[in-house]
Amino acid sequence: MPELPEVETIRRELAPHLVGRRIAAVSVKWPRMVRRPSADEFVRRLRGRTVESLSRRGKYLVAGLSGGEFLLLHLKMTGSLLVKPSGAAADKHTRMVFSLIDDRSEPSALHFRDPRKFGSAWLVEDTSTVTGKLGPEPLPARFTAEALADILKGRRQPIKALLCDQSRIAGLGNMYADEALFAARLHPLRPAGTLSPEEIRRLHRAIRQVLRRGIRDCGASVSNYCRPDGSPGWAHESFRVAHRGGRPCPRCGAPIQRLSLRGRGSYFCPRCQPL
């Protein structure tokens, strides 16, 4: 699933193609993708709206529209957003197409492609109806080591599971949690509430570093993720443990191990990250 660096990369690269443009038409090829309102009303209310802003909240893209409503998109596991020329054929995995026009450039289209059909779209007046349960963003200055300590305090769940809980920290997911835990030398099964102040400071620093590096490298293309022009990111080339099971640890040489935690694979070095 695309995580914060991938969604932020998409936001940055989509903004020049969307902001200031008018949605001339919407074609919904998989109506169940639209969570709110009905697919028919979704199409009707979007037609003629201008995209005034494009932001991110956690793993959600949020387009501010003329008239005061917001279009929210979530890519889930296999979704991608591709900018195409107007009239370009949609392949069999394209679930939604937004036709875009303005007075200064050629018409274009935004294709929401999603092979597994898990992606979602909302059109709402208040974004909190969709994103209200998300935890804090991990990159703003207000996300301090003290703020992280408050999130971890008294929690018995494994630290890896807590880091991936969007109600605790928004945007952090499986890959970057593995990378942050390796950098902080913490085992993924360590109970979250047992971290010392120094370990929390190391983890806080590692979370921000791996996310910023992921954004710098335009996201990780380990599976379905691609950028709006169809090209891959290269953040995965710098991964030290994520998706590297069986390979030698870059720090000590021990084989990277994989364990299953709440249905997700977690990668770690048993020597550098002892339990």
> Which active-site residues does the annotation give?
2-3, 59, 264
Residue 132 burial by Cβ neighbours in a 10 Å radius (0-12, 13-18, 19+) = exposed
The rounded distance, in Å, linking the Cα atoms of 160 and 152 is 11
Concatenated DSSP letters of 14-36: HHHHHTT-EEEEEEES-GGGEEE
Provide CB contacts within 8 A for 40, sequence distance 6+: none
Comparing CA positions, the residue from 110, 121, 119, 125 lying closest to residue 34 is: 121
Q: Name the residue type at position 3.
A: E
CB 59 within 8 A of CB 3: yes
The DSSP output letter for 158 is B
What is the token pair recorded at 182?
A: 């390796």
Q: Name the residue type at position 61.
A: L
CB 130 within 8 A of CB 59: no
